[in-house]
A and B are shown apart, each in its own frame.
Chain A
Amino acid sequence: MIGYVVQRILLSLLISAVAMVALFAMVRMIPGDPVTLMLGARATPEAIARLNAQMGLDQPVITQIGLWFSRIFSGDLGVDIWSQRPVVDVVLEALPPTLALTLAGIGWAAALGIPLGCYSALRPGTFTDQALSVVSVGAISIPPFVLAIYCLLFFSVRLGWFPVLGAGEDGDLADQIWHLVLPAFAVGLGWVGYLARLVRGSMIEAMGENHVRTARAMGLPPHRIVVTYALRLAIVPTVTMLGISIGGLLSSAVLVENVFSRPGLGTLIADAAQGRNYPVVQGGVLAAVLLFAIAMPISDLVIAWLDPRVRKSL
């Protein structure tokens, strides 16, 4: 098991390292001279030279890669071309709203998907179960940004239940949460179906387990049996799935951010890419990759918490 954990951490590190090299290569693979592209055709030679030096583009490639890694590890991702602020600061500012949106999206998906899955599992094969499975597949196939637009039009513009755009007042937590509800719903809904299907399958299996029979033989009420004895283990595959799918969740969040004009990694990367602000693009993508890389070890920890047999062997 120790071996397994080390393996997972090494995998995370490998993913991160590959991403760093890829990001390094990205700027070099853009046709034409990146500096000229960034600064525009009419930049002065001094400005071009300064930016070249700033980005280390005047060095040999190997040196550049070495430099790039050593800078990343010392927390230096370069400087935002527009604001001249350190990219690290810019990215760290954009991270919390995206994280909040992703987690709230998972929250919605779990809050709807887990009960639906349980409900189906307790009456497999009935009309309700089959109807729910059709709805689940339907929910899976709606692209999140389309859903975001419809949510926005209907709940915010038409009904006025939720704010239309933005992330809410700084420092006003209630307002921020209020602004989060609808975009998170748009991120999460597509996952409700996946979760419901997955939970249904593992719940049906769990309800047939011997320890659930023991719980029934004690005369425990059904909700206690489902939650304490069946669901706790039945949820493990779902946590694994969420850990693996964090990339997909992040990209839904990034798309939805744009629809709702929320600040965040998505908006940051999109704006920077459009403006050829490559250090910020690099920093933003790197942050997303790191999130992706730590999601799996985190889901492993959650599983160890859910299932003590795994904990023992950690």
Chain B
Amino acid sequence: MSRDVASIEGLSVAFGRPPTQVLALRSVSLTLRAGQITGIVGESGSGKSTLALALIGLLPQAARVTEGAIRIGNQNIAGLPEARLRAIRGARVSMVFQDPMTALSPSRTIGGHLLDAQHRDRASGRSALRTRAIEVLRKVGVPDPAAQLDRYPHQLSGGMRQRVAIAMALLGRPELLIADEITTALDVTLEAQILHLLRELRSEIDGAILFISHNLGAIAEICDQVAVFYAGELVEEGPVRDIFHSPLHPYTRALRDCDPARIEGAARHLPSIPGETPVVRAPPTGCIFAPRCSLATELCRTKVPVWAAIAEGRGVRCHLAVSKT
């Protein structure tokens, strides 16, 4: 098995204070390995972005890590002071965000952004940084890269901007590249191109990719490993084949059985499962999915299912699934 790049161990993150707090992540464990694309799927509000921000040390001020560890390599970055976190960002971990229209500064040229992305390599001199910026732009499929450097973000299309954002993330030579719904704002053709690019990068960067998406089709297409989130919990994890061919958790099964055309286009809420994702403000007393689960029993409503590891990189959180295996 390949090298562990980053791991989350029993991580719980809360926003705000009781009684209005939101328990955005609860006891989540996940390992990201070199050479793999790990997909995270889940409805809006399930904690996907919170997990991503935790990994890059960018949790908002309102967030508290209440338990667990966030490991980048061997280092636990949970609770590190800002200056130490800054050393991680853009160097060991890079992130590309959802909205390419606003992710770049309107008053800074593409070249300026790409120079800033290499701010730790300033010593090598402007022209070397420029050459490298052009090289990486070419790698991510930006046509005529040298000419783009003097342009402003508003002069580029959404797809091009997202490529620039990916180039910026790559320039720091990260061990972990996080892509948080980077294709959600793009049309289908552009999305396919960006997915193809990520797939290429997987073998090229010596590290792991975390791919967050609403789109199961996209996840199925490029991921090696899939983690399914529901209301702040990791409910199932496994190799992409297992998740799609033999899902264990009723939620994963429901997700898979949704009409894929309806999931595409970033469905905020999955139509085939009645009910909505709850906002969790206090520790649950039973299975958090029980109100929407057609298989729920008395046990499900009174006892919290624990994470059951079935094999390396394969696990589920469900009373029923565990009793079956």
Contact = CB atoms under 8 A, between A and B. Distances in A.
A173 interface: no
B119 A224 contact: yes
B99 interface: yes
Interface stretch (A57-65, A155-163, A301-309): A301-309
**Secondary structure class of chain A's binding surface, majority of residues:** helix
A218 B90 contact: yes
A210 B99 contact: yes
A211 B102 contact: yes
A65 to B, nearest CB: 47
B91 interface: yes
Contact of B116 (A213, A220, A312): A220
Contact of B89 (A219, A308, A309): A219
B97 interface: yes
B183 interface: no
A211 B116 contact: no
A214 interface: yes
Contacts of B119: 218-221, 224
B58 A217 contact: yes
B268 interface: no
Interface stretch (B103-111, B288-296, B306-314): B103-111
A232 interface: yes
A210 B89 contact: no
A233 interface: yes
Given A213-B97, A218-B119, A224-B116, A233 B106 contact: yes
B103 A219 contact: no
A307 B106 contact: yes
B120 interface: yes
B107 A307 contact: yes
Given A215-B116, A217-B56, A224-B116, A306 B90 contact: no
B95 A221 contact: no
Contact of A214 (B104, B112, B152): B104
Nearest to A305: B107
A213 B58 contact: yes
B103 A218 contact: no
Interface residues of A, number: 23
A218 to B, nearest CB: 4
Given A218-B89, A219-B88, A309 B108 contact: no
A211, A219, A221, A308 — most chain B CB neighbours (10 Å) = A219
Interface residues of B, number: 30
Contacts of B117: 218
Contacts, number: 80
A308 B107 contact: yes
A93 interface: no
Interface in B151-191: 152, 154-155, 165, 168, 172
Nearest to A206: B105
Contact of A312 (B91, B108, B155): B155
B248 to A, nearest CB: 35
A214 B97 contact: yes
A186 to B, nearest CB: 33
B277 interface: no
A8 B105 CA distance: 28
B128 interface: no
A217 B106 contact: no
B94 interface: yes
A214 to B, nearest CB: 5
Contacts of B99: 210
Contacts of A210: 97, 99, 102-103
A113 B8 CA distance: 44
A232 B165 CA distance: 20
A219 B122 CA distance: 14
A70 interface: no
Interface in B97-137: 97, 99, 102-108, 112, 116-117, 119-120
A220 B94 CA distance: 12
Nearest to A312: B154
Contacts of A224: 116, 119
Nearest to B171: A218
Contacts of A216: 58, 89
B94 A217 contact: yes
Given A210-B99, A213-B58, A308-B152, A219 B104 contact: no
Contacts of B56: 217
B267 interface: no
Interface string A204-238: 00000111111111111100100011001100000
Nearest to B155: A312
Interface string B47-85: 000000000101000000000000000000000000000
Most B C-beta atoms less than 10 A away, residue of A214, A307, A308: A214
B106 A219 contact: no
A232 B105 CA distance: 10
B303 interface: no
B118 to A, nearest CB: 9
B86 interface: yes
B87 interface: yes
A74 B99 CA distance: 56
B58 A214 contact: no
B116 A218 contact: yes
Contacts of A214: 97, 103-105, 165, 168
Given A212-B105, A219-B120, 4 more contacts: A213-B97, A218-B89, A218-B119, A307-B107
Interface of A: 209-221, 224, 228-229, 232-233, 306-309, 312
Interface of B: 56, 58, 86-91, 94-95, 97, 99, 102-108, 112, 116-117, 119-120, 152, 154-155, 165, 168, 172
Closest 6 CB pairs of A and B: A219-B89, A219-B90, A218-B90, A210-B102, A211-B105, A308-B152
25 contacts: A210-B102, A211-B104, A211-B105, A213-B97, A216-B89, A217-B56, A217-B58, A218-B89, A218-B94, A218-B172, A219-B88, A219-B91, A219-B119, A219-B172, A220-B90, A220-B116, A229-B108, A232-B105, A232-B107, A232-B108, A233-B105, A233-B106, A308-B107, A309-B106, A309-B154
